[in-house]
Structure 1
Amino acid sequence: MSDNGVDKTESGGLSPAVSYGLGAFFVLNIAMLASLPPVLRGRGAPYLPTFRTHREAMFRQLQQTVGRKKEVFVDLGSGDGRLVFAAAQTFRLSIGYESNPFLYIFSQGQRFVRGPKYWASTRFYWQDLWTADLGEVDVVAVYGLGPIMKDLGQKLERELPSGSLVVSNVFSVPGWTPVNTSLEGTHIYRMR
């Protein structure tokens, strides 16, 4: 440690741990800032990671609700990809759509770092959630803000096949009735 309390290496630079921490902090803040334009236009949500408790609740509810073979999972606004990777454990194909270029690049990097196991079972697209094709999807996950949920609900009703499930983290879809009791702030809906 130096006299001012900053951890430095013998060569005078910052230690690798401090450098990594500062780098991660910088990238996270850039990613958050890059997610604001869609929010300001009323077309998206800021980057907010799905915490482990909510992720576990989502998949617990899905296990109870999915009555057929689990094929294709889509996360609209996939952020850092953690939900896509979690879904890849259960679904044949897990897809993330993300409009933030920093988060898209991060997710793609994670896909390759995690190894071949995820190369066939995951996909990430740098694409706006409003243009994502949902015609052959079994489950859609969304962590949107209240102001977009009505319009997003209309898109889902138009595009999802009958019997598909929608799992929403925190924000409910106006006018929709969940198929069971919401758990840990997650709501599951079945398309008719």
Structure 2
Amino acid sequence: MEFLALSLVLAAIVLILVGTIRTGVPPMPTSPAVRACMFTVIEGLEPRCIHELGAGWGGLATALARRFPDARVIATEVSLLPWAVCRLRQVLFGPANLEVRFGDILKTDFSDADLAVCFLCPPAMTKLAGRLEDGLKPGAWVLSNAFALPGWTPVKEARVDDLHRSAVYLYRK
């Protein structure tokens, strides 16, 4: 039994490492304080379709779906273990307006998004910036946790009173 438990833990670690090496982005959950700040920054928006690009474990995607029950929320993740956890959470606990997809965000069609949400490291944000410019419809919003979107000018910026003084950026195409 101990061998099985150890094997499962090692397999989980390997899956996370492989995903991180492949994408350059580790699966990091959004803290409750940052999530609250993000919701404050987008107060007044009523998106009909939200894409979380790089959903990780699914905590933020679930919170977005609950915050906007009339919106379709699409969470896309390319790392196998975080995607599986995100999908399992959605199946077991909902909400029904959340759709979890396995896929590469740089190859995802998000042309229907009124709001795109991301929490990616700077190299990934650089890759995503051009993709958002080409793939989002005019007037769509982009909400970024922690890292600025290169080449874009935020319409709103906030700082969280946490250890890292985390930044939240809101952009409009």
Band the TM-score falls in, shorter-chain normalisation? 0.7 to 0.9
Whole-Å Cα distance in 2 between the matches of residues 26 and 140 of structure 1? Answer: 34
TM (norm. structure 2) is 0.84
Contact 2:49–2:114, Cα closer than 8 Å, also in 1: yes
Say which of 83, 106, 109 aligns to 1:130. Answer: 106
Residues 147 and 110 of structure 1, relative CA distance in 2, 3 Å threshold: same
- Does the residue aligned with 1:155 lie in a helix, a strand or coil? helix
Per-residue CA distance 1:157-189 (angstroms, 9 max, x = gap):
101011111111111012221112333211110
Moved more, 182-191 or 122-131: 182-191
User: Cα RMSD over matched residues?
Assistant: 2.3
Q: CA–CA distance in 2 between the matches of 1:183 and 1:24?
A: 38
Q: Percent identity?
A: 26
How many corresponding residue pairs?
163
* Residue in structure 1 matching 2:83, options 104, 117, 129: 104
* Greater fraction strand: 2
Q: Which has the higher contact order (CA 8 A, sep 6+)?
A: 2
> Where has structure 1 moved over 2 Å in runs of 4 or more?
22-32, 181-184
Name the aligned partner's letter for residue 53 of structure 2: L
What is the deviation of 1:23?
9.8
Cα displacement (A) at 1:60: 1.0
- Aligned partners of 2:77 and 2:26: how far apart in 1? 11
SS at match of 1:186: strand
In structure 2, what is the equivalent of residue 113 of structure 1?
Answer: 92
Task: Identify the match of residue 38 of structure 1 among 4, 9, 22.
Answer: 22
